[in-house]
Amino acid sequence: MVVNLCLILFQSFPENILVISSGLVLTGLRPRLPKIIIIAAITSVISHIVRALPLAPGLHIILQFPVLVMLVTCFYKLNITYAILASSIGVIGITLCEMILNPILSLVTGIPIKEVLKDPFWRFVFPIPEFILMAILVYFLFRKRITLFDVQEFENLEHVENHE
């Protein structure tokens, strides 16, 4: 129980904050900390419940993703398409970061990924560099106003086209 709570607080919660923040920033939306904390808390608990189910690896994301989209839609008052876009970008970003950093960390530490997944201590420690890198990247993207797809610009364009 204590290990599960620690995994939710120190692994799932920060990861969800980064997923949500990166997705919002890269779609030109301003992340609001109170909203992000609430969404991350809810998705972290749901993630823990879903991951406890006897599902094939990777299948849990199919169950978790609609919840994330729904929460982003509700809290940011976005249409479903933009919420899917922001959520997808965030999930893809964190996945790419994991795919790049985990093999490097495994090589540097000499600890195989399978061992990391089995040991609660390493499950806490291994994501730290990933979280730091993602947080720096999200902050940089936010400060420089770098986006992949600016939802607000697109909505303004749609609004202008509808009035012509």
Q: Domains of the chain: which residue ranges?
A: 2-163
Alpha-carbon 126 to chain mean position: 17
| pLDDT value at residue 53 | 87
Compare 155 and 158 and report the one with higher pLDDT: 155
Q: Are 25 and 138 in contact (CB under 8 A)?
A: yes
Q: Are 30 and 24 in contact (CB under 8 A)?
A: yes
At 2, give phi and psi (nearest 5°). Answer: -65, -40
Q: What is the CA radius of gyration of the chain?
A: 17
Compare 51 and 77 and report the one with higher pLDDT: 77
| pLDDT value at residue 60 | 84
How far is 138 from 94, CA to CA, in rounded Å?
11
Q: Tell me the percentage of the chain whose pLDDT exceeds 70.
A: 93
DSSP classification of residue 114? H
Q: Which of 60, 83, 69 is nearest to 12 (CA)?
A: 60
E-strand spans in the chain?
A: none
> pTM, whole model, 2 decimals?
0.88
Please state the rounded mean pLDDT for residues 91-111.
Answer: 94
